[in-house]
Copies of this chain bind each other. A is one copy, B any other.
Amino acid sequence: MSAQTTGPVLIVGTGLLGTSIGMALRRLGVEVELADASPSALALARDMGAGMIAHEGVDPALVVVATPPDVTARVIDEALREHPRAIVTDVASVKTIIARELEACGADTTRYVGSHPMAGRERSGAGAADADLFRQRPWVIAPVAGSAERAIRIVRSLALDVGALPLDYRAEDHDAAVACVSHVPQLMASLLAASLTRAPQEALGLSGQGLRDSTRIAHSDPRLWAAIVGGNSREIAEVLRGISRDLLDLLHSLDSAAGDPLAPGLVAQVTKVLEAGNDGVERIPGKHGGAPRRYAEVSVLVPDTPGHLGRLFTELGEADVNIEDFALEHSAGAPMGVGRVLVDPAAAAPARAWLTDHGWTVLDGAH
């Protein structure tokens, strides 16, 4: 694979995202120069292989601003003035407020296009960087009113070069979307984890994987997130208001029950929350199906010895069934695992019949 991106690329801000972009570009042979307010963060990024430390008078073709979001607009404005031939983009998690700030300071936005790679980790900093961080991840391209076509093309090439999937969004649509799928989930995880500070110590001894998964992102950096949430407060409040309403309804039912598990309305209220949760999680694309296509699941017992999965997939291929997703639930103690094959709903019944005919045990009514 050869890079579409023409260097030198100047990356300003060598945290997790800036360093990861540098590493991915360096792997393609693109010249990368790095800048950061912190000399030690900068040295770490260089040592991770993200590029060299920017020299005086660097003349970049592209500037990637990867600073915290509350200084992003200022740094973009500076980059546009300092490098009059460069295209400039940023990777901040909020887009509308940055566009508005650039407009307010009269920046030359023909050369600016916003972007937001939908990739991250709960760990921050160059030390957590990964050249594969963006592989197959969405990368939002959010032009402003004045963005030139050439600038959009160059930023899209950057996304493709680091292995991401460019998606076009208006800044406002982007901000509404990330409120739902990123900012509110972060706050809910933090609110849940915060409630553990009030739990008796012995309670924590009963923690399981469910709690760990639900609170994993509560490890996130408070300073970074204060800036993100501050930059998208209206959209976040809108989503949180809905959750708050549901929570207060639930709390009301629990209180009214006064400890009686069969109190009128209690089971219905709890079931409503759980069922809405089932519906919501089904909308997440990827594992377990979801939007926009719906998949049917075919569950089949798979013996725990090498070769059987290969045979399963070969035989599904012979039946011309396209496998949309697959998960194997395996137990070291069981003689069998359960393979869950997601297929087009129309293909499910023929696939079950074919597999049964070929000696597989197909589980019905799984879920």
Contacts and interface: CB of A to CB of B under 8 A. Distances in A.
Residue among A123, A178, A330 with the highest chain B CB neighbour number at 10 A: A330
A116 B360 CA distance: 29
A257 interface: yes
A273 to B, nearest CB: 5
A223 B328 CA distance: 25
B137 A277 contact: no
Given A274-B190, A306-B320, A23 B333 contact: yes
A284 interface: yes
Given A135-B338, A222-B271, A324-B330, A244 B247 contact: yes
Interface in A220-252: 220-223, 225-227, 229-231, 233-234, 236-237, 239-244, 246-248, 250-251
Contacts of A127: 299, 338, 363, 366
B280 A193 contact: yes
Contact of A195 (B184, B215, B221, B285): B184
A334 interface: yes
B190 A203 contact: no
Interface in A298-349: 299, 301, 304-307, 309-317, 320-338
Contacts of A125: 366-367
Q: How many copies does the complex hold?
A: 2
A183 to B, nearest CB: 10
A212 B270 contact: no
A2 to B, nearest CB: 16
Contact of A130 (B23, B213, B225, B334): B334
Contacts of A207: 118, 181, 284-286, 290
A97 interface: yes
A365 B226 CA distance: 21
Contacts of A331: 23, 129-133, 136-138, 165, 285-286
Given A130-B333, A285-B207, A310 B307 contact: no
A221 B186 CA distance: 24
A180 to B, nearest CB: 4
